[in-house]
Chain A
Amino acid sequence: MNAQTIREKITAAVKENFKSEEKPFVNPYAGEKSTVLLETRAFSEPHLNAKKCCHLLTKVLYLITQGEKLSSKETTDLFFGATKLFQSSSERLRRMTYLLIKSIKVSETEVFIVTSTLTKDMSSKSDCYRANAIRVLSRILDPSMAAQIDRYLKNAIVDKSPFVASAAIICGINLMRSAPEVVRRWVNEVTESVSSKSPMVQFHALGLLYELKRNDRLALHKVVSQLTKSFGKSPMAECLLIRYATQVLKAERDSALEHALMDYLESCLRHKSEMAMFEAAKAFCELAVVDEQGSGGATVFGYDMLPALTVLQIFLTSPKPVVRFASIRMLNKLAQVRPHVVSRCNVDMEPLLTDQNRNIATLALTTLLKTGHESNVDRLIKQITTFMTEISDNFKVEVVRAVKTLCLTYPSKYKVLMAFLSSNLREEGSAEFKKDIVDALILLVEQIPQAKETGLLHLCEFIEDCEYPSLCTKILSFLGNETPTTSSPSKFIRFIYNRLILENALVRAAGVDALTKIALKCPTLKKDILTLLESCTTDNDDEVRDRTNLYCNMLEGKMGGKDGDLLVEFNGVLMKADLEFSLDALCQTLEAHIAAQPELPFDVKAVPTEEAYESQKAAMQAINAAKQQAQTKAKEPTKAPAAGKAEAPSPVSAPSAPDIAAKVADLISAEDLGALQHSCKPKLATESEAEYVVQVIKHMYINHVVLEFVTTNTLQDQVLEDVDIKFTIGDPSSWGELGRLGIEALPYDRPASAYVVLQKMHEGDDGLRTLLGTFQAALDYTVKEEGDDLGYRDTYPMENVTIAMGDYMVPRHLRPGEFKSMWESLQQADEAVSKFSLNFKTLESAATGLTTSLNMAPCDKSDKVDTTARGHTLLLSGTFIGGLQVLCKALIGLDQSYGCLLKLACRSKNPAASQAIVHSVE
């Protein structure tokens, strides 16, 4: 035999081999929907072939798995077909039929057809039939059915077969949603099952017992603390009990109970099962988040964290990835609140950086970044660099955040940390990610003086090749502010100038701004910068060219005389980070000014600030939306009056600023009225379900207040005519009534407004014009019932209308963390402080009360009061009338002998206003 033939033979053999392997595998259960459904007719055959039917049922289940949708008719047919399978005595077929009924969504009106069949199976001798029948029933029972088979289920719970018992208990868990009153009757049986021999029955019974008791605080405590003393629980039941104990500990501060449960948790740390040990360690960590008193310290409710930490530490070295993951994930969470405690595990966390499971490695990394010590920062950063390309953007953001915090903790490490951040700026990444890094760098430059030049240079490098114009402009503006105070500003100028020649108009304009700012602050560089700006005086973009020319003129000092004053002012504006007024509002006010009285000088001070303008706009939008809603509601005359009355009246209210001026034009000219400062939120002056519902909106002006009474007639068979507001001013030396506007006719469910214009009679002692007052008001009208032409005059009283300090304020929401910097930017010297004792019973009600009465916005989630604490700090922010930004810091404390004590500090640029606001609390 020669080599040739051998080769041929081998090839043939190999081919043969392949053939047998390539013989395509046909999935025995795959099929087309219509074919499979047609085949299920076999369910109706007089002689059921159990094997065939099982095969068909599997085919149907596979169809569903593959995402095939059955129409409701198909489902119905399939379901009724399947009900015929209960005739068969084949166990396998019965089991598959149970599964099918659980897997298809049969309509509620049809599924009950199997109830009797299932109840029959429930009384079968076979545990499997009984358990399975209960499991199917538990999906389809309605409360009335549940009550009927209550006795069966109750017995099943204590059945000696764990299969049956578990099935019945889970049925109870499902029924808790629809028929809790039925399940409550099983409490004895369920309690008995908690001490069943079967681990699963214990687990399920404990779950149900908790559901049964959870709304009864004392009973729950009793059950939980009793169970913690019993023994012989399965690991899973133990885990559940640990969870419940933790929940009780979180909700309750009762020292005896606390002591008992903490003892229990601690003992579970030495449980023989890893699962329960971990659950207990997890409980300690979760409680560490809650227990602020131990924060930073190594205790939870007075118990040492160390044993829990040791458990986690041991798990870190487990050969099982899941165990390592569980442990590092828990430590990562704990590191957010107690980095020092977690840092004990650093030695065992570091090896995880090279873990095969990348998820574990990244968790280890972010944990170490939080707990890291100055000495290993360099090594960590080296490790992360290898990671960054592999991890998701979400995680990258977390890493950036951690690096930022690390840098703030160890400022001396800024070089390596900033280098890391900047290297990531050069890598691929989303705009979001880049923005985070830029923000981090900016923050570091601001916070760490020695890092300033390095950071600025990193930023400069980045803008040399940055695809996001918005980031570029942000950095340019930052450079303009910061470079003048560096040792050699000139070294940054080149980077900025490059933008002028390379980038789009938006960036060029920002570049021009930045250069000008530098020139203004560094006179030595002025000449050079003017030369650089030269190129932009002929820029083809209008904005860039105009800016450049203006700046050049300004820098060259060409503007003098009256313009010179303007220059000084303009200079001030340019150098300021924020404008004192809203540009949109400025535009709007200017237009109005030119249209109305162009001969008078324009007062910039009257322009509202950005925030004031925004909140005004938002208020107007809300008001208009509500109006529209009210109108659409009025268009539904068929609505029964009862139904209409049951609803709380929607916050109907006023039209926009010019509209109000127009409405009351007969009473006061728009000129005398001035610009609308803001409108207060509508306030009910009657009960919301009264015959006539009145909401009062206060429109605040510098010298006036316009009261708008939005009135709704909720009686279908009545019309009110000549509606007037009877108005009594208590203190005529402060307030004068300029006039009133009534409503001609007020038909059912069509809200209309009446107005009263008030004038402030003096400036107030502090010159703020923030006068307070209380006024009596009532509706005065002629009622005409259906068919009655004459009608009669009547009055309807409403609550007093008050003007309080809060009405001069608009809440102003700040971004998280913004409060602190703004508070610090305001002079402490101008702070107004006062102490009060208030009539509140809890911290929470005090905080809410204060927030409402001052009408300011809580900042940094300080409206969330820890009910267990003795004191609370509330941070508030608002815009005072005239666009004055106001911040308040309120320390509230509860004292047994003095009650609720408050120390209120208020800062703003106007000390008189701060004083007035503080004193308004009295």
Chain B
Amino acid sequence: MGIFKRLFGLFYKRRTKVKILAVGLDNSGKTTLLKKLRPKKADLSTVPTVGYEFESFSKNGVAFDCVDMSGQSKYRNLWEHYFTDTDGVIFVVDATDKLRFVVVREELETMLSHQEFSRRKIPLLFFANKMDLHDAVTPNELLATLQLDDLAHPWRIFASNALRGEGLEEGVGWLVDAIAEHKTTAK
């Protein structure tokens, strides 16, 4: 039994719902990734999200209410409206889109400068997505480029292939653990 399961046994008996926000630049694979996490969903052809979509699924006895935000630049300023009540953030990065790593860093900084992130230590889960493509950078390289080491929040980066679902379980597993931990320390 993994550590998070035990912790959930302790703290999440009554409250088995977590709220997650999925962000990232456009075409990084958020919607696909979330769809893959839903057990039965098969159709993985996706159109760009305009605004946001709700995705609900449960994993390991935890119910996830996930807000899938649009990554298009004109909608990114809308992310902040969903920070208030979120328990954790999934930040999806297209590991092949090297040109825009700078933009990713900028968006990350903007997000972290929001008062909700300075108030709470919201856990951040990064996915270095599209690992299957040959020009993808490794999580370690990405970590360095994005200077994740400086983060004051609990964070972790995982390599993923959203189309095939590789790396997702591990990442989400960590996130749930981190949320539980955060809740306990907060209490």
**Which residues of A are in contact with B by a Cβ distance under 8 Å?**
44-47, 76-77, 80, 83-84, 86-87, 109-110, 112-117, 119-120, 145
Contacts and interface: CB of A to CB of B under 8 A. Distances in A.
A115 B50 contact: yes
B115 interface: no
Nearest to B18: A46
Given A76-B81, A80-B81, A110-B78, A46 B15 contact: yes
**Most A-side CB within 10 Å, residue of B19, B50, B53, B74:** B50
Contacts of B84: 44
A112 B75 contact: yes
B101 interface: no
Interface in B26-45: none
13 contacts: A46-B19, A46-B65, A46-B85, A47-B17, A80-B81, A83-B81, A110-B78, A113-B52, A113-B70, A113-B75, A116-B49, A116-B51, A145-B50
**Majority-rule SS of A interface residues:** helix
**Majority-rule SS of B interface residues:** mixed
Contact of A115 (B15, B51, B81, B82): B51
Contact of B82 (A76, A80, A145): A80
Contacts of A76: 81
Contacts of B15: 46
B184 to A, nearest CB: 17
Interface string B1-40: 0000000000000010101000000000000000000000
Contacts of A114: 51-52
Contacts, number: 53
Nearest to B85: A44
Interface of B: 15, 17, 19, 49-54, 56, 65, 67, 70, 74-75, 78, 81-82, 84-85
Contacts of B78: 80, 110, 113
Contact of B53 (A77, A80, A120, A145): A120
A143 to B, nearest CB: 14
Given A46-B17, A47-B17, A116 B81 contact: no
Contacts of A46: 15, 17, 19, 65, 85
A248 B178 CA distance: 72
Contacts of B53: 116-117, 120
A86 B81 contact: no
A115 B78 CA distance: 13
Given A47-B17, A116-B49, A87 B81 contact: no
A45 B65 CA distance: 12
Contacts of A86: 54
A145 to B, nearest CB: 7
Contacts of A115: 50-51
A175 to B, nearest CB: 17
Nearest to B65: A87
Contacts of B54: 86-87, 117
A145 B54 CA distance: 20
Contacts of A44: 84-85
Contact of B56 (A47, A87, A119): A87
Given A44-B85, A112-B75, 10 more contacts: A46-B15, A46-B19, A47-B17, A76-B81, A110-B78, A112-B74, A113-B52, A117-B51, A119-B50, A120-B53
Nearest to B80: A80
Contacts of B85: 44-46
Given A44-B85, A46-B85, A47-B17, A116 B52 contact: yes
A113 B75 CA distance: 7
Nearest to A112: B51
**Most B-side CB within 10 Å, residue of A80, A116, A117, A119:** A116
B51 A113 contact: yes
B35 to A, nearest CB: 12
Nearest to B54: A87
The 6 closest A-B pairs by CB, nearest first: A113-B51, A80-B81, A115-B50, A44-B85, A116-B50, A115-B51
Contact of B52 (A47, A117, A145): A117
Contacts of B56: 87
